Amino acid sequence: QVGELSQQLEIKSKKCVQLEVQNQDLQEELSTMYGNHEKLEKSKCQLKEEVADLKHRLETSTSQMEQYKRTADERADQEIRRKIQEVNLVLQTQAAFLDQSEQIRANHHTSLINQLKQRIKLLERELDRIKSTQQDSIFQKESIQAEKEKYKELYLEEVKIRGRLANKLER
């Protein structure tokens, strides 16, 4: 039983040492946290001061911004009016140009129609000439064909006569 108790005592003493080490670590961590807390408090105070300063600046600059906004709005209105005048001028110029272009297009269209009519007449005359030439060519071809047939018949007749003469000479 004494052995058991000494073993338990040894276990308890190891546990105690571990707890003391853990306690020491926790003490150090707590000390670090206190240090961090103090730093955070200082930062918080500084931030509050900065916020107050920024609020003051914001209030001061708000009136300046309103004045700047009014000035910018006036400039924008003037610029818009100027741009509208420019656009109107461009639109008027384009309208005049379109009218002129339409007139030129109409004149060009009329000119093209006249050119096409002349071209059609020329092509019709050329077609008539080609038809006439074609008829002449057909007539010539038929004439040549008839002459060819005539000479063919004469040749065949001559071949027959030669054959007869050759037979007579052989006898």
Q: What is residue 1's predicted lDDT score, i.e. its pLDDT?
A: 76
What gap in Å lies between CA 21 and CA 19, rounded to an integer?
Answer: 5
Give the pLDDT of the chain (171 residues) as one tens digit per residue.
788 888 988 999 999 999 999 999 999 999 999 999 999 999 999 999 999 999 998 888 888 888 889 999 999 999 999 999 999 999 999 999 999 999 999 999 999 999 999 999 999 999 999 999 989 888 999 999 999 999 999 999 999 999 999 988 887
What gap in Å lies between CA 77 and CA 85, rounded to an integer?
Answer: 12
Q: What does the block give as tokens for 151?
A: 């000479």
What gap in Å lies between CA 81 and CA 12, rounded to an integer?
Answer: 93
Judged on CB neighbours under 10 Å (0-12, 13-18, 19+), 125 is: exposed
Q: What is residue 130's predicted lDDT score, i.e. its pLDDT?
A: 92
Q: What is residue 53's predicted lDDT score, i.e. its pLDDT?
A: 95
Reported for 35-42, long-range contacts at CB under 8 A and 24+ positions apart, including other chains, are none
Q: What does the block give as tokens for 156?
A: 């065949």
End-to-end, the C-alpha distance of the chain in Å comes to 170
Q: pTM to 2 decimals?
A: 0.33
The helix/strand count (H/E) of the chain reads as 1, 0
The DSSP secondary-structure symbol of 167 reads: H
Q: What is residue 99's predicted lDDT score, i.e. its pLDDT?
A: 95
Q: What does the block give as tokens for 88?
A: 């109107």
Buried b (16+ CB within 10 A) or exposed e, 24-45: eeeeeeeeeeeeeeeeeeeeee
Residue in the structure block whose two tokens are 């039983």: 1
